[in-house]
Amino acid sequence: MLELLSEHRCFGGWQRYYRHASSVIGLPMRFSVYVPPQAEAGARLATLFYLAGLTCTEETFMIKAGAQRLAAEHGIMLVAPDTSPRGASLPGEDDDWDFGSGAGFYVDATQAPWSQYYRMYSYIVNELYGVVTSELPGDATRTGIFGHSMGGHGALVLALRNPDKFRSVSAFAPIAAPSQCDWGKKALGGYLGQDTAAWEPYDATALMQVMRTPFPNGILVDQGMADQFLHQLHPGAFEAACAKANQPLTLRRHEGYDHGYYFISTFMEDHLAHHARELEAQG
């Protein structure tokens, strides 16, 4: 059952924040939804999931990205989950900003104690997707996904593994090869164990290397070249994997832009247009 925490009129639609008891996580989870004005006609809506980065919550994207005006123009519903379970009270959960609370990495943890609650992959792909397309007016045949940094990693992984659910995908500064960077090694090692073969299902570059044109109409990635975390992101590795997979990729490198939401908001219009083209074509 969804609990509406707050709602705000926004560009003719509604910005809403929800909480629900998650059966997958085993704890209450929060997520945000922007419902565009087209919902008033009673139709199912093209839906776009946004996965946020390290330390973020379900509010970050909705407050900072400037996406609601564009979503209202395209008639797209936006959905942003939290980035991890909250209140699990696990030892060490709040010790580091890049592991534990706010840093679920969109995986299903297999290592104790994290495996009890940290199941963000299944939460989004199965439970939240089901809520959005049944209890909310999301159209299950017109759903896309995008994200930033850790969330860009999550968006690429979830899309590549579930193309039947996510028909379009893009990312801002994604952690594109987590097996090759310190952030990824720490998170994947902690949640999944030290056998690196278990990391591959959560590494977009590794996944792409064994695929063949999973998204024939293209993937969009934007990367700031003044990004202070560029050494963690490895966009070139993902670019090479896409070339091997014959996967059309638009990887745009932007001089002067850093890792934050000033960068994201600058190119948000292009991402919404990318998804709108794909999702409207599915209608």
Longest dimension (CA), the chain: 51
Read off the pLDDT of residues 163-206 as tens digits, 9 standing for 90 and up: 999 999 999 999 999 999 999 999 999 999 999 999 999 999 99
Mean pLDDT estimate for the chain: 97
pLDDT band at 281 (very low <50, low <70, confident <90, very high): low
224: left (phi over 0), alpha (psi -120 to 50) or beta: beta
74-87 core/surface letters (b: 16 or more CB in 10 A; e: else): bbbbbbbbbbbbbe
Q: What's the mean pLDDT in 18-33?
A: 98
In the prediction, which pLDDT does 282 show?
A: 57
Active-site position among 74, 259, 271, 274: 259
In the prediction, which pLDDT does 161 show?
A: 98
Q: What share of the chain in percent tops pLDDT 90?
A: 98
Q: What's the mean pLDDT in 2-6?
A: 98
In the prediction, which pLDDT does 280 show?
A: 86
Say whether pLDDT at 67 is over 60: yes
Q: What share of the chain in percent tops pLDDT 70?
A: 99
Measured CA to CA, the distance from residue 120 to residue 60 in angstroms comes to 17
Measured CA to CA, the distance from residue 92 to residue 96 in angstroms comes to 8
Q: What is the pTM of this model?
A: 0.98
Q: Residue 28 belongs to what H/E stretch?
A: strand 28-35
Active-site annotation holds for 94: no
Measured CA to CA, the distance from residue 206 to residue 136 in angstroms comes to 34
Read off the pLDDT of residues 223-232 as tens digits, 9 standing for 90 and up: 999 999 999 9
Say whether pLDDT at 72 is over 60: yes
Task: From 61, 233, 270, select the one nearest 150 (Cα to Cα).
Answer: 233
3-state class (DSSP) for residue 231: helix
* Edge-to-edge strand ranges of the sheet holding 28-35: 3-10, 13-21, 28-35, 76-81, 45-51, 138-148, 168-172, 219-224, 249-254
Active-site position among 149, 170, 203, 271: 149
Q: What's the mean pLDDT in 39-62?
A: 97
**What would the two tokens of residue 141 be?**
């045949």
Among 38-42, 125-129, 173-177, 227-231, name the one with the lowest average pLDDT.
38-42
Active-site annotation holds for 227: yes
pLDDT band at 135 (very low <50, low <70, confident <90, very high): very high
Active-site annotation holds for 168: no
Active-site position among 108, 203, 222, 227: 227
**What would the two tokens of residue 227 be?**
């990004």
